[in-house]
Amino acid sequence: MTSTDLIRLTAAELADSLAAGDVSSVDATRAHLDRIDGVDGDIHAFLHVARDAALARAGEIDRIRASEDGSSLGPLAGVPLAIKDVLCTLDMPSTAGSRILEGWIPPYDATVVRKIRDAHLVPLGKTNMDEFAMGSSTEHSAYGPTRNPWDLDRIPGGSGGGSAAAVSAFEAPLALGSDTGGSIRQPAAVTGSVGMKPTYGGVSRYGAIALASSLDQVGPVSRTVLDSALLHDVIGGHDPRDSTSIPDTWPSMADAARAGQREGALKGMRVGVVKQLTGDGFQSGVTQRFTEALAVLESAGAEVVEISAPNFEYAIAAYYLILPAEASSNLAKFDSVRFGLRVNPPGGGTVEQVMSATRDAGFGPEVKRRIILGTYALSAGYYDAYYGSAQKVRTLIQRDFDNAFGRVDVLATPSAPTTAFRLGEKLDDPLAMYLNDLTTIPANLAGVPGIGLPIGLAPEDGLPVGIQFMAPARSDARLYTVGAALEQLLEESWGGSLLSRAPELATATVGGR
């Protein structure tokens, strides 16, 4: 197989080839590292590429496979993946896209990172993101923006633009992301890739640099629904180091995805379309592709009904109080004492002045904005009106979900109101930027799972459009079934994956670094 073929395989296909001995992990890993060398100068999906470590690890895994222990290797053994820089890694810097953590190498691995190492996946490097996951465009990274492989002048979504761009530019078959208000699903939508936000507590948050503790969830990013399911099976499950981790056992997500690929998987499935998350404010091409996707579901035997979730109207407002409040506290630890940047004011100063100067220099404008907003929302005299009220709205949104799931199996919305916008377009208008997560935020507030997958290109700009499905808490498997079913129907109609239609990227000469 040529290296071009290798990078175009899905993770599931690559895993099969590795298991069959048709290809080595070293070759697969090198093919992806070469691709990164070739295109990442333009894309900038990676903040750190661990070339030598990745090849060494791939070699080890090849040796294990060749030995008598080979049969014990897991389904994704030898498959390379990219890791969002929000996750702590023992052997790579972990900056969360912030200047304040530049070069910081944690003395421990996040639980999900330990799990992917134990499952013999090969970490390629760390992916770019909006600083501390605050943003929907990856333009708020302290290390420069990531570009959308479909159009280099456009944003790849955010905050996980690096992970989404890495998989959609064929730099990695899989990536880890994190989703606080849409940071996995919205980038998936605008890059034509797949991403899943699991049920809150379904995947450990230990070692994920916290943005908003009650909203954050780590999840898989990939090019196919089955690939996300395979990665979900590796990273999911109870972690005693995360108190909010759900102690249940989970069904196989990969089995659920494969079930979706079988004939008749959608028969009788009740799909609710959230009235409040369609129509006005959605780009016409987004609405068009969304409507067509619903028709595909119906033609496959699903029943599509309209659902009203009246309190979703307040979701963004509640989110932009809860998130900054929790973030203002979570980000207090960046104080120049134990790790990260230290900036001494001219002529020295007290520790208080050093902390303040460091936090001024180390945080970007969006982070400061949200910290100040969150500090305000928690302040004496404002708590009840802001944070307290937002938590009550959360109850209302949960009730809307409960009502909806009393009537339907899954909810469907467009993943994002628009296709990828141009770099810089919304950078100076925080409120406009916040609206990008209109459809994804309710799932985080209620803790329910949500999956995003591509449903075509908007006719007006030729850019990817995504659909989001949501299910009741703990019913993640159902989303893989529905997602895989729709994906299969669409790919049949397209004659291939959506990403196979993405423009070829110019590749730099591989220097063999």
Partner 1 sequence: MAAPKLMDFDRALELFEPVLGFEVHVELNTKTKMFSDAPNFFGGEPNTNVTPVDLGLPGSLPVVNEQAVRYSISLGLALGCSIAESSRFARKNYFYPDLAKNYQISQHDEPIAYRGSVDVELPDGRTVTVPIERAHMEEDAGKLTHVGGSTGRIQGAEYSLVDYNRAGVPLVEIVTDIIYGAEKDAPELAKAYVSTIRDIVIALGISDAKMERGNLRCDANISLSPRGSGILGTRTETKNVNSLRSVERAIRYEIQRQAAILDAGGTITQETRHWHEDTGRTSAGRPKSDADDYRYFPEPDLLPVQPSTELIEELRQALPEAPALRRRRLREAWGFTELEFRDVVNSGLLNELDATVAAGASPQAARKWWTGEIARLANVAGVDSASLVSAEQVAQLIELIEAGTLTDRLARQVLEGVIAGEGSPAEVVDSRGLAVVSDDGALIAAIDEALAAQPDVLAKIRDGKVQAAGAVIGAVMKAMRGSADAARVRELVLERANSAPE
Partner 2 sequence: MSEISAEQVAHLAMLARIELSPEEIASLTVELGSIVDNVAKVSAVATPDLPATSHPIPLVNVFRPDVVGETLTQEQALSGAPEAHDGRFRVSAILGEEQ
- The catalytic residues are 84, 159, 183
| Shortest Å, Cβ 74 to partner 1 | 24
The single-letter DSSP state of residue 339 is: S
Shorter beta-carbon distance to partner 2: residue 275 or 368: 368
The single-letter DSSP state of residue 221 is: E
| Shortest Å, Cβ 26 to partner 1 | 30
Bond prior to 500 in cis (omega within 30° of 0): no
Footprint on residues 47-106 left by partner 2 (CB under 8 A): 104-106
Question: Judged by CB under 8 A, how many residues of this single chain contact partner 2?
Answer: 76
Q: Which residues face 222 on adjacent strands?
A: 174, 194
Nearest residue to 164 via CA among 186, 144, 181, 180: 186
Instruction: Identify the residue whose tokens are 């004496």.
Output: 380
| Shortest Å, Cβ 322 to partner 1 | 9
Contact (Cβ atoms closer than 8 angstroms) between residue 175 and residue 127: yes
Is residue 9 classed as helix, strand or coil in its secondary structure?
Answer: coil
Taking CB under 8 A as the criterion, the residue among 295, 305, 385, 506 binding partner 2 is: 385
Shorter beta-carbon distance to partner 1: residue 382 or 494: 382
CA dihedral 419, 185, 13, 510 (to 10 degrees): 60
Which tokens is 503 given? 């423009």
Q: Give residue 299's identity as a one-letter amino acid code.
A: S
Site string for partner 1, 110-129 (x = CB under 8 A): x-------------------
Question: Judged by CB under 8 A, how many residues of this single chain contact partner 1?
Answer: 44
Site string for partner 1, 307-346 (x = CB under 8 A): ------------------xx-xx--xxxx-xxx-------
Distance of CA 82 to the CA centre of its chain: 11
Taking CB under 8 A as the criterion, the residue among 15, 33, 373, 404 binding partner 2 is: 373
Is residue 335 classed as helix, strand or coil in its secondary structure?
Answer: coil
Site string for partner 1, 59-98 (x = CB under 8 A): ----------------------------xx-----x-x--
Distance of CA 129 to the CA centre of its chain: 10
Taking CB under 8 A as the criterion, the residue among 355, 416, 473, 484 binding partner 1 is: 355
Which tokens is 52 given? 């030598």
Q: Which residues face 270 on adjacent strands?
A: 303
| Shortest Å, Cβ 367 to partner 2 | 9
Shorter beta-carbon distance to partner 2: residue 384 or 504: 384
Residue 282 interacts with which of partner 2, partner 1, none, CB < 5 to 8 Å by class: none
Of the chain, the end-to-end C-alpha distance in Å amounts to 22
Residue 119 interacts with which of partner 2, partner 1, none, CB < 5 to 8 Å by class: none
Q: Does 212 bind partner 1 (CB under 8 A)?
A: yes
| Shortest Å, Cβ 272 to partner 1 | 29
Footprint on residues 402-461 left by partner 1 (CB under 8 A): none
- List, as one string, the DSSP characters of 108-174: S--HHHHHHHHTT-EEEEEE--SGGG--SSSTT-TT----BTTBTTB---SSSHHHHHHHHTTS-SE
Residue 47, CA atoms < 13 Å, CB-side half-sphere: 33
Stretch that binds partner 1, among 123-131, 212-220, 439-447, 483-491 (CB under 8 A): 212-220
Residue 222, CA atoms < 13 Å, CB-side half-sphere: 27
Taking CB under 8 A as the criterion, the residue among 394, 423, 451, 470 binding partner 2 is: 394
| Shortest Å, Cβ 446 to partner 2 | 6
Shorter beta-carbon distance to partner 1: residue 192 or 201: 201
Distance CA 485, CA 258 (A): 9
Distance CA 189, CA 501 (A): 15
Distance CA 310, CA 333 (A): 38
Phi, psi of 492 (to 5 degrees): -60, -40
Distance CA 310, CA 312 (A): 6
Residue 424 interacts with which of partner 2, partner 1, none, CB < 5 to 8 Å by class: none
Taking CB under 8 A as the criterion, the residue among 2, 71, 243, 509 binding partner 1 is: 243
Neighbour-count burial of 461, counting CB atoms closer than 10 A to its CB (0-12 exposed, 13-18 middle, 19+ buried): middle
Shorter beta-carbon distance to partner 1: residue 351 or 506: 351
| Shortest Å, Cβ 385 to partner 2 | 5
Residue 174 interacts with which of partner 1, partner 2, none, CB < 5 to 8 Å by class: none
Distance of CA 204 to the CA centre of its chain: 15
Footprint on residues 269-328 left by partner 2 (CB under 8 A): 311, 314, 316-318, 320-321, 328
Q: Does 360 bind partner 2 (CB under 8 A)?
A: yes
Stretch that binds partner 2, among 151-159, 166-174, 393-401, 451-459 (CB under 8 A): 393-401
Site string for partner 2, 103-142 (x = CB under 8 A): -xxxxx----------------------------------
Distance CA 131, CA 127 (A): 12
Site string for partner 1, 374-393 (x = CB under 8 A): -x--xxx--x---x------
Strands 217-222 and 270-274: unpaired
Taking CB under 8 A as the criterion, the residue among 70, 74, 251, 345 binding partner 2 is: 345
Given the rule CB under 8 A, which residues bind partner 1?
87-88, 94, 96, 101, 104, 106-108, 110, 205-210, 212-214, 240-244, 325-326, 328-329, 332-335, 337-339, 351-352, 355, 375, 378-380, 383, 387
